Structures are given as structure tokens and as C-alpha cells.
């Protein structure tokens, strides 16, 4: 009898505990419903929202355009030599003077004429003058290898870096003008001038402008580094 009453009491307690748990769960559900997150603050935490898949934006395909220098490419090497027109004239006069010396000498020996003697003396003087003129005006030769320009004149040689911003390199006049000049500063500070009788003005103008643009960029980069 006691065992039956004890089982009945345990069942009642279990049902009471179950009812209490269900009542507490209902209370919690009501509380959550009352304190749900307002829409103006944000989405409900209990609701899972999926972000719609967005299509990749379409972009125009851009082509990289590399600027192309107009005209023929800048040569890596070049060679110029002074035109021989003045030297040709002086050489021709020198040859004629030598011929006059030989002729006058033969006539002087054979005829002993005062005219032949005077012609011999005049021819000899002209020969000495023009030979000295040719020796005093050596041929100018210019070679270019990259930005390095080598100028040879007689026994002198000057090397100038056209892309060095510290060197004076100036273009005077325009190609086709007889007064066109290229002025260069030698290592010892001398100014060397090269005219159209030595260089091809149009070709040299393009080459010098190309390397001076590089020199200007190097100078600007150096100035920016010094400002930092």
C-alpha cells in the first residue's frame, strides 16, 4: 500500500515539473516576442538572411597603348667626318703650287731666266703657305656609341655624354640653316662647336634631342630625391 502511494506521489511530482518547464518555456517565448529587434535597428537575429548573388560588373577592355616615336629609330652608333670641300681646295692649290715649283725649277736650270726664278720663288711660297694651312686645319671626326660622343680633331680627343645633365649640350639654329651648330662642353671646360660641315644636322638633331630628354628626366629625378 505504501509503495503504491509512493509511486503515485512521484508521478504527480514529475507531471508538475513537466508542467512547470512548459510554462517557463512559454514565458520565455512570449518575452522573446515582446523584445524582438526592431526593424529600424537591424534584421531579427533569429532570422537568417541570404545576400543575393551579385553579378560581376562588366568593364570595357582597355588596350595598353605604347607610344611610338615617329620617324626612324634612334641609332645606337653613328659616324660623321668633316666634309673635304675646304681641304680639297687647299689641296688642289698645293698640288698646283708643287707643279709650279718643279716647272720653274726646270726652267731656271735650263734657261736661268729671271722670270723662271721669280716663278720658282712664288711657287715655293704658295706651297709653304697651303701646306701649313692643311696642317693647321686637321680633319674632324665624330663617333657616337649610345649617348657617348667622341670628337677627334688632330691630336685632340673629347668625349661627351649627351645623357649627362651636368654637361652643357646646346643646339643652335634649325637643321638646314647654315648657322646650325651643336655646342658641347668638354671635360676641361672648353666649348666645342660642330657645324653642318661635320655633322648631318637632321640626324644629329634627333639624336641630341633624344638623349637630352633622358638627361632632363634624370635631372628632375635627382632634384626630387634631394627634396625628400
Do the domain assignments include residue 151? yes
Do the domain assignments include residue 154? yes
175 and 95 together in one domain: no
Do the domain assignments include residue 193? yes
129 and 183 together in one domain: no
Q: Residue 148: its pLDDT value, please?
A: 92
Q: Residue 6: its pLDDT value, please?
A: 53
What total of structural domains would you count in the chain? 2
Q: Residue 110: its pLDDT value, please?
A: 84
Q: Are 159 and 125 in contact (CB under 8 A)?
A: no
Q: In angstroms, rounded to a whole number, what is the distance separating the alpha carbons of residues 191 and 185?
A: 5
Model pTM? 0.49
The string over 181-219, giving b where at least 16 C-beta atoms fall within 10 Å of a residue's C-beta and e elsewhere, is bbebbbeeeeebebbbebbebebbbbbbeebbeebeeee
Dihedral of alpha carbons 110, 116, 122, 123, sign:
negative
Q: Residue 155: its pLDDT value, please?
A: 78
193 and 204 together in one domain: yes
pLDDT, tens digit (0-9, with 9 covering 90-100), for 191-224:
888 989 889 999 999 999 999 999 999 888 888 8
Q: Residue 108: its pLDDT value, please?
A: 81
CATH label of the domain that carries residue 164: 2.30.29
Confidence of residue 114 (pLDDT cuts 50, 70, 90): confident
- Owning domain of residue 114: 83-137
Average of per-residue pLDDT across 10-24: 77
143 and 225 together in one domain: yes
* Residue 10, CB-side half-sphere exposure with 13 Å CA sphere: 6
Amino acid at each position: 500500500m505504501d509503495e503504491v502511494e509512493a509511486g503515485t506521489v512521484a508521478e504527480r511530482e514529475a507531471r508538475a515539473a513537466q508542467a512547470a518547464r512548459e510554462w517557463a518555456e512559454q514565458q520565455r517565448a512570449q518575452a522573446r516576442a515582446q523584445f524582438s529587434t526592431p526593424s529600424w535597428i537591424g534584421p531579427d537575429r533569429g532570422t537568417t538572411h541570404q545576400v543575393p548573388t551579385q553579378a560581376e560588373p562588366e568593364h570595357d577592355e582597355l588596350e595598353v597603348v605604347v607610344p611610338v616615336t615617329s620617324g626612324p629609330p634612334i641609332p645606337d652608333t653613328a659616324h660623321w667626318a668633316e666634309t673635304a670641300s675646304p681641304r680639297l681646295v687647299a689641296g688642289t692649290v698645293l698640288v698646283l703650287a708643287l707643279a709650279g715649283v718643279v716647272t720653274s725649277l726646270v726652267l731656271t736650270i735650263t734657261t736661268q731666266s729671271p722670270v723662271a726664278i721669280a716663278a720658282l720663288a712664288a711657287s715655293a711660297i704658295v706651297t709653304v703657305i697651303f701646306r701649313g694651312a692643311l696642317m693647321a686645319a686637321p680633319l674632324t671626326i665624330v663617333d657616337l656609341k649610345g649617348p657617348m660622343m667622341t670628337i677627334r680633331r688632330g691630336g685632340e680627343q673629347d668625349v661627351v655624354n649627351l645623357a649627362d645633365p651636368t654637361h652643357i649640350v646646346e643646339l643652335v639654329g634649325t637643321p638646314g640653316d647654315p648657322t646650325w651648330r651643336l655646342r658641347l662642353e668638354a671635360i676641361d671646360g672648353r666649348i666645342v662647336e660642330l657645324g653642318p660641315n661635320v655633322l648631318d644636322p637632321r640626324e644629329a638633331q634627333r639624336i641630341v634631342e633624344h638623349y637630352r630628354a633622358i638627361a632632363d628626366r634624370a635631372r628632375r629625378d635627382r632634384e626630387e630625391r634631394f627634396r625628400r
